[in-house]
Structure 1
Amino acid sequence: MALASVLRSELPEPFKECFRGGFAEDSEEAIPEIVRDPAGPPRALAAPPWGLPAAPSGPGLELLHGTTTLAFKSPFGVTVAVDSRATAGSYIASQSVRKVLPINSRILGTMAGGAADCSFWQRLVARQCRVQELRNKEPVSVAAASKLLANLVYQYKGAGLSLGTMVCGWDKRGPG
């Protein structure tokens, strides 16, 4: 309010209703009714007093849709579902891409993003999990495989990787 009074700029129409009394800081009218009344509805502060803005007119922003990957955890296991379409911009490159990749016999990874990035990192995690299984003589847990992938990829944060993946499966603690 003080900055607007210094700049002597005209307020937009919706703001004029809020500050009917002008910019005088000691003016009781400068404070909207909803703020002055402490017993007023608390949700009213979340919405602007002039209502919601109208829907934008003109050409809308076209959002590109990517891969849909779903995983459902139940007491009996994990169900994984992905779409099978591979696109390159607006061009549909393939209708039958395998986007669920095995990490080991009990753990799967889903693929979304750049196909090269996803398949490379999931193959690397599969190899590292196999090495860990050979060293420890027991299967790697789902949490360990997920953490391994996170730690490997984090080193390349900001490098422009196009990678979206989910690691899920079954271990000695059950589905995860």
Structure 2
Amino acid sequence: MNRFGLNAAVAMLIVLVTAKGLTMMASPLPSYQVTVVHDRYASYPRWGYRTTSLPRSATVIHYQRVSYRYVNGIVYRPVGRTFVVVPPPAGLLVPALPAGFVNIKIGGTPFYYHYGTYYVKPAGQLGYKVVPPPVGARVDSLPQGYGKVSLDGKTYYVLDGVYYQARVNEKGEVAYEVVGSHINSR
């Protein structure tokens, strides 16, 4: 069960909205499996991981009535007496970008990517704001825990409701491009 209450074994209708406003649909959901694309984030705790203690360097960030903890790109949500690693909600303002972030420019707008999360620098504000993944963004690595689906003969990598498609860049390296997302994601 993922954070949207979806079970991979259940046939469902997927609606994917792309940058050009096109809608892609598929039903039922075929061949869903969890794999790892790259090891860049192998040492990071996987989304959903629970812990009872955090590093002293954790910063408390209050957002939408939740006191999140932030440590170098990892966001923890308090649940009872534990903390759960979660994807940061869109709108969350973090004090600094995590080490190892990647610069991405889409339509002249600078974005920053790290561990499945996209950030922008809001004008006149301190810190960086979490934003929904911009369609067209290309990244070299996805965190552990993504799914793999096949729709209309094409393979997509799905992470937190965001669809990526593998592309080969001019250097012959594989990059993962944001091609759409579930309507209700983030």
Interval of TM-score (by shorter of Structure 1 and Structure 2): under 0.3
Q: Relative CO higher for 1 or 2, CA cutoff 8 Å, sep ≥ 6?
A: 2
Q: Which has the larger radius of gyration?
A: 1
Structure with higher strand content: 2
Structure with higher helix content: 1
TM-score by length of 2: 0.20
